[in-house]
Chains A and B, each alone.
Chain A
Amino acid sequence: MIWAYLYNIVFYASCGVTVLATILMISRHNAVHALLYLIISSLSLAIIFYLLGAAFAAALEVIVYAGAVMILFVFVVMMLNQGQRSVVHEAAWLPASGWILPSVLAAILLSLLLIGMYSDQPLPPYGVHGVAVKEVGIALFGPYVLVVELASFLLLSGLIGAFHIARKMPSHMSSNTLEEVDHG
């Protein structure tokens, strides 16, 4: 029964870390601090996915959310803070109070990971029906191949849309030219 006990600890500690990190995230005034807490929230949610028997989804959560989406947010935070204001901001951005609490939450997650790694056997999904990656792959490219096609269309349209929306207008097409067109 030691495994059920260990599973309980890891599961509910991850739940607590997720909720705490999310509460702290939506109450931050500073975008970078909020992003730190969002990373913690994604990582602990990945642990919960793994404990629910969805290892593939856990890996995707880490790669896509804690990796790719977070990089996008960090890029935009960097681009939004150009100019003189950024110097003042940079100095005030990461005081000790800003990174200590995310570090504590990340340390909790690390200890959970170490519990799973250094126990006699890897922590099994306990009492839930795990779904192996093989089954997911077979279903993805069998009856659900339309979902894959739709996802690729969505990502392509997102790429084109983001490129079109966020590109800098050439100088002869700046906003005053557009206003002249409107008034003319």
Chain B
Amino acid sequence: MDSQYIDHAMVLAGILFCLGLVGVMVRRNLLFMMISIEVMLNAAGLAFIAAGSAWGQPEGQIMFLAVITLGAAEVAVGLGLTLLLFRHHNSVNVDQLNQLRG
């Protein structure tokens, strides 16, 4: 009974990570790609929480705190870059970024 929920939470984390990866690879809109990256970070956090619960240790939640901090900082900088891209190209399509010349 103990490990059943932990196992299924790990499976759910894997499914969520794959869904986020599919989102990053399929979508070409920078905003959707960042949302998918958030889903992948959520999946990593779920894996940490499940592992922490399996061992009954607080380290899982501490790592989740680190992951969530990383996600917040990444979203702030990434959305700033999205705004910059939109101002320069009037679009958030990443396929238009093939003209960077350094």
Please tell me if the beta carbons of B15 and A54 are within 8 angstroms of each other in the complex: no
The complex places the Cα of A144 from the Cα of B52 at a distance, in Å, of 15
Q: Which of B26-58 contact A (CB under 8 A)?
A: 26-27, 29, 31-32, 34-36, 38-39, 42, 45-46, 49-50, 52-58
Please tell me if the beta carbons of B61 and A56 are within 8 angstroms of each other in the complex: yes
Please tell me if the beta carbons of A48 and B12 are within 8 angstroms of each other in the complex: yes
Q: What are the interface flags for A122-151 relative to B under an 8 Å C-beta threshold, 1 for contact and 0 otherwise?
A: 000111111100011011100010010011
Please tell me if the beta carbons of B31 and A140 are within 8 angstroms of each other in the complex: no
A162–chain B nearest beta-carbon distance, Å:
4
B83 on the A face (CB < 8 A): yes
Main secondary structure of the interface of A (DSSP, over half): helix
Chain B residues contacting A51 (CB-CB under 8 Å) are 5
Please tell me if the beta carbons of B64 and A23 are within 8 angstroms of each other in the complex: no
Residue of chain A at shortest CB distance from B8:
A15
A116–chain B nearest beta-carbon distance, Å:
16
Please tell me if the beta carbons of B53 and A22 are within 8 angstroms of each other in the complex: no
Please tell me if the beta carbons of B23 and A26 are within 8 angstroms of each other in the complex: yes
Q: What are the interface flags for A21-47 relative to B under an 8 Å C-beta threshold, 1 for contact and 0 otherwise?
A: 011011000010011001001100100
A98 on the B face (CB < 8 A): no
Total number of residue pairs linking A and B with CB closer than 8 Å: 184
A94 on the B face (CB < 8 A): no
Chain A residues contacting B86 (CB-CB under 8 Å) are 79-80
What is the number of residues of chain B that contact chain A, defined by CB distance less than 8 Å? 62
The listed residue (B20, B61, B73, B80) touching A165 by CB distance below 8 A is B80
Please tell me if the beta carbons of A147 and B66 are within 8 angstroms of each other in the complex: yes
The listed residue (B22, B49, B71, B76) touching A57 by CB distance below 8 A is B49
The listed residue (B19, B26, B65, B92) touching A19 by CB distance below 8 A is B19
Given A42-B42, A76-B83, is A57 in contact with B66 using a C-beta cutoff of 8 Å? Answer: no
The complex places the Cα of A18 from the Cα of B4 at a distance, in Å, of 18
Please tell me if the beta carbons of A80 and B80 are within 8 angstroms of each other in the complex: no
Please tell me if the beta carbons of B35 and A34 are within 8 angstroms of each other in the complex: yes
Q: Which of A66-119 contact B (CB under 8 A)?
A: 68-69, 72-73, 75-77, 79-80
The complex places the Cα of A136 from the Cα of B82 at a distance, in Å, of 35
Given A35-B35, A127-B2, A136-B58, is A60 in contact with B79 using a C-beta cutoff of 8 Å? Answer: no
Chain A residues contacting B61 (CB-CB under 8 Å) are 54, 56-57, 131, 136
A98–chain B nearest beta-carbon distance, Å:
16
The complex places the Cα of A135 from the Cα of B68 at a distance, in Å, of 19
For the complex of A and B, list the 5 residue pairs with the smallest distance between their C-beta atoms, beginning with the closest. Answer: A158-B73, A129-B56, A166-B80, A26-B23, A165-B80
